[in-house]
């Protein structure tokens, strides 16, 4: 495009002459035009953002995208609230029902709720997470993941034990420790609080006493391994403790004779000794205890004192036959 030249009137020559500008003037004019443009743009942006309270297009886009991400994080946290409640329910049932049924120790709360110690593994979020929402979400997700992993391992353990449920049934002390012939014994003291026969004070009785003549056969009430054999002069006197597994143990005290050794495997109905009057005893009797998960429990809740003598004899004969086969050198 051809630019028309500009003319000015020269009073000396009385002629119109073409107007020319020096290079410095042209450069200065360009700088002034650029500065004016910048100033106008800056003024526009200031009025748009500060006076009118509007966001620039890029800022508005970033804010909108940030709001969308925050909404997704909040939704994720609400979902994790539901997941945490469901996981807590599983943990409760795991400890109170599943692990208890199979005689397994509870998983302590400090193990289930253990956090993440040591270095701050979330420090990298400090520069991009001013509200802390992203950091809190990641911590919750990591904790839930750890708890879920721990719960999964617990269920794997329970599944393994459940496959041995048949073995567990044989390890529950479910028969009386002596022949259930009412003409040969009587219950002289039950489980719970009673008047101590020596101190005459109320004291907890951790077992069940079968008053009977010295020499009455005493049998293992479930399959297990002999854990302890003692022949003390005081306390329980001569006694045996059998570990049946799955959290169950039984004690047979005040015996006159012990027919098993520590480490020996016994079956339900195996003869372990004879009743007596050893130790701190006020008369001939068998003191019998059931210990579950380290706590004394009422033996009467596990055995049927009404079972017939014939049925009980079958149990003892089966145990005797099994022992004979096991000990046969052939």
pLDDT tens column, 117-138: 555 777 777 777 777 788 888 8
115, 179: one domain: no
For residue 229, is it within any domain?
Answer: yes
Residue with tokens 């000015």: 8
Neighbouring C-beta atoms of residue 214, cutoff 10 Å? 16
More confident residue, 83 or 255: 255
- Of the three residues 163, 181, 205, the one that is the final residue of a domain is 163
The mean pLDDT value for 190-215 works out to 85
Q: Is the pLDDT of residue 3 over 60?
A: no
The mean pLDDT value for 264-282 works out to 94
Tokens describing residue 256: 């006159």
Residue with tokens 């429990």: 297
First-to-final CA distance of the chain: 122
* Parent domain of 30: 7-51
| Distance, CA of 76 to chain centre | 24
For residue 62, is it within any domain?
Answer: no
Minimum mean pLDDT range among 9-13, 239-243, 255-259: 9-13
Q: Measuring CA to CA, which residue among 222, 230, 219 is closest to residue 261?
A: 230
d(CA 131, CA 71): 13
Q: Which residues pair with 242 in a beta bridge?
A: 226, 250
305, 216: one domain: yes
Concatenating the DSSP letter of every residue in 82-123 gives HHHHHHHHHHHHIIIIIHHHTTPPPPPHHHHT----SS-TTG
Tokens describing residue 23: 């290079």
Neighbouring C-beta atoms of residue 288, cutoff 10 Å? 24
189, 291: one domain: yes
322, 260: one domain: yes
Phi, psi of 287 (to 5 degrees): -95, 120
**Count of domains in the chain?**
3
Whole-number percent of the chain with pLDDT over 70: 82
For residue 74, is it within any domain?
Answer: no
140, 286: one domain: no
d(CA 281, CA 53): 93
The mean pLDDT value for 23-29 works out to 70
């Amino acid at each position: 495009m051809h630019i028309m030249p500009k003319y000015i009137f020269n009073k000396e020559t009385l002629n119109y002459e073409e107007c020319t500008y020096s290079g410095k003037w042209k450069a200065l004019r360009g700088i002034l035009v650029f500065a004016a443009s910048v100033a106008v743009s800056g003024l526009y942006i200031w009025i748009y953002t500060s006076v009118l309270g509007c966001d620039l297009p890029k800022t508005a886009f970033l804010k909108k995208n940030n709001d969308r991400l925050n909404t997704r994080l909040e939704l994720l946290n609400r979902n994790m609230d539901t997941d945490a409640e469901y996981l807590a329910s599983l943990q409760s049932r795991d400890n109170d029902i599943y692990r208890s049924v199979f005689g397994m120790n509870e998983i302590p709360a400090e193990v289930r709720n253990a956090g993440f110690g040591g270095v701050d593994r979330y420090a990298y979020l400090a520069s991009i997470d001013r509200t802390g929402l992203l950091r809190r979400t990641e911590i919750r997700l990591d904790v839930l993941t750890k708890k879920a992993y721990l719960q999964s391992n617990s269920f794997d353990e329970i599944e393994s034990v459940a496959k041995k449920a048949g073995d567990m049934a044989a390890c529950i002390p479910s028969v009386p420790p002596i022949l259930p012939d009412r003409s040969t014994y009587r219950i002289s003291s039950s489980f719970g609080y009673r008047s101590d026969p020596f101190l005459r004070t109320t004291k907890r009785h951790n077992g069940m006493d079968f008053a009977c003549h010295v020499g009455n056969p005493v049998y293992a009430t479930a399959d297990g391994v002999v854990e302890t054999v003692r022949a003390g002069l005081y306390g329980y006197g001569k006694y045996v403790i059998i570990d049946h597994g799955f959290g169950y143990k039984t004690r047979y005290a005040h015996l006159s004779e012990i027919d098993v050794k520590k480490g020996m495997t016994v079956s339900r109905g195996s003869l372990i000794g004879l009743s007596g009057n050893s130790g701190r005893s006020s008369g001939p009797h068998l003191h019998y205890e059931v210990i579950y998960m380290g706590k004394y429990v009422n033996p009467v809740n596990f055995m049927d004192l009404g079972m017939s003598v014939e049925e009980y004899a079958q149990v003892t004969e089966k145990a005797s036959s099994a022992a004979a086969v096991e000990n046969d050198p052939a």
